[in-house]
Amino acid sequence: MGKMELENVSVIIPEKASSTTGFFTKPRKPFKEKIIEIILLLLTVLSSILIFFVMFFVISKAIPVLKASGFSFVFSGGWDENFLNAWQTSGEQSALKFGALPLIAGTVLTTSGALVFCLTFGLGCAIFLSEMCPAWLRKPLESTVRLLAAIPSVIYGLIGLMIVVPFISKHLISNELSLRMIKICALDGTSLLAGIIVLSMMIGPIFIAMASDAIKSAPKIYKEASLALGLSHWRTIVKIILPAARNGIVAGAILAAGRAIGEAIALSMVTGSVANLPNPAHGLVFFLEPVRTLASTIVDNAEGMSVAACESALFACGSFLLLSCVLLSLFSRIFSGNLRTGGVSDK
């Protein structure tokens, strides 16, 4: 009997232990962790609701102008005349018709031009900082780049207004050219070219910081294996490290593009703030003509918020800026989804 009782005990004890501390038993979370998770969930939901509320508010305010103008809002010009007409004849249906083609074109031209400069020179700076810069110089340069990224945009606008615009006016615009273009637009240095230069100065440090971090985060074993196989340092950077850091580089470019699209103050100071559509048929003078972007229009025409039609038109510009940001975010998601870790395409 004693032996039987011992056997029974030996069987019962493991069953109790397995029921409480078994391998598949989910461990209980501490009470503090549950509270933190609930708080984070609530904050996430509230921030999402706030974002959708902002989008709904902006688009709802823009509907009167978008409904009255239709596709002509995107494919026709005459913003300044439309704004003046809406200011003088508030309440009439004709006051709701606007054409924002020069503003959309100015936004696209300044952003794309700045990105060309930024990606060309910024990627070279990022490669130098992460792979070729001496150790004693790397930290000061990295600190300088991050400091430049944190400078307010109005400072860049002042630099452009005091240095870039006078340089363009003095060295690129002659009296003969000004007289020849006087019937089309005034050439005084505030131009598309000035906007591209200032905007590239603004978004360059952001892209350089993110691209250099992405290059540094590439697995060191890739570089060591490439060098061990006899590839040169430069060929290793181009063929191995940059493809491995592609995700971070693209993310930096998208973030820089988002900053460029939404910039208002600096571009308002150096582009001339004229709703003019540059004509490529003018040759290189195309870059010397004044422009205005969607974001700078909201700042320049803010006094019209007291008039319902003007207010709706400015909200329509804001809705296009929101749409651009959403498209950039979707593009980044799609691009990141098509790449594995390390930047290699799935296809």
pLDDT, tens digit, 9 for 90 and up, residues 11-62: 444 444 444 445 455 567 677 888 988 899 999 899 889 988 988 999 999 9
- Mean of pLDDT values over 202-209: 92
7: tokens are 């056997």
Domain 105-290+299-304 annotated CATH 1.10.3720.10: yes
How high is the pLDDT of residue 304?
A: 83
- What residues form DSSP beta bridges with 256? none
pLDDT range class, residue 275, cuts 50, 70, 90: confident
pLDDT, tens only, 48-101: 899 889 889 999 999 999 998 888 899 988 898 888 888 887 656 567 889 899
How high is the pLDDT of residue 202?
A: 92
Q: Kindly report the number of other CB atoms within 10 A of residue 50's CB atom.
A: 10
114: tokens are 């700045």
296: tokens are 């700078």
Q: Compute the C-alpha angle 257/262/267, nearest 5°.
A: 100
Find out whether 235 and 294 touch, Cβ atoms under 8 Å: no
Is it the case that residue 341 has pLDDT exceeding 50?
A: no
The string over 248-285, giving b where at least 16 C-beta atoms fall within 10 Å of a residue's C-beta and e elsewhere, is bbbbbbbbbbbbbbbbbbbbbbbbbbbbbbbeeeeeeb
pLDDT range class, residue 149, cuts 50, 70, 90: confident
Q: In whole angstroms, what is the distance from residue 112 CA to residue 38 CA?
A: 43
Phi, psi of 134 (to 5 degrees): -60, 150
Q: Compute the C-alpha angle 258/263/264, nearest 5°.
A: 155
Q: In whole angstroms, what is the distance from residue 335 CA to residue 44 CA?
A: 24
pLDDT, tens only, 231-262: 888 999 999 999 988 888 888 898 889 889 98
How high is the pLDDT of residue 10?
A: 47
Q: In whole angstroms, what is the distance from residue 344 CA to residue 347 CA?
A: 9
Mean pLDDT, all residues of the chain: 84
How high is the pLDDT of residue 335?
A: 66
Closest CA to 170 of 43, 288, 49, 1: 288
Closest CA to 333 of 257, 274, 250, 273: 250
Q: Kindly report the number of other CB atoms within 10 A of residue 198's CB atom.
A: 27
Q: In whole angstroms, what is the distance from residue 36 CA to residue 30 CA?
A: 10
- Mean of pLDDT values over 273-278: 87
Q: Which tops the pLDDT comparison, 21 or 168?
A: 168
Q: Kindly report the number of other CB atoms within 10 A of residue 91's CB atom.
A: 10
SS (H, E, C) the chain: CHHHHHHHHHHHHHHHHHHHHCCCCCCCCCHHHHHHHHHHHHHHHHHHHHHHHHHHHHHHHHHHHHHHHCCHHHHCCCHHHHHHHHHHCCCCHHHHCCCCHHHHHHHHHHHHHHHHHHHHHHHHHHHHHHHHCCHHHHHHHHHHHHHHHCCCHHHHHHHHHHHHHHHHHHHCCCHHHHHHCCCCCCCCCCCHHHHHHHHHHHHHHHHHHHHHHHHHCCCHHHHHHHHHCCCCHHHHHHHHHHHHCHHHHHHHHHHHHHHHHCCCHHHHHHCECCCCCCCHHHHHHHHHCCECCHHHHHHHCHHHHHCHHHHHHHHHHHHHHHHHHHHHHHHHHHHHHCECCCCCECC
Q: In whole angstroms, what is the distance from residue 196 CA to residue 183 CA?
A: 24
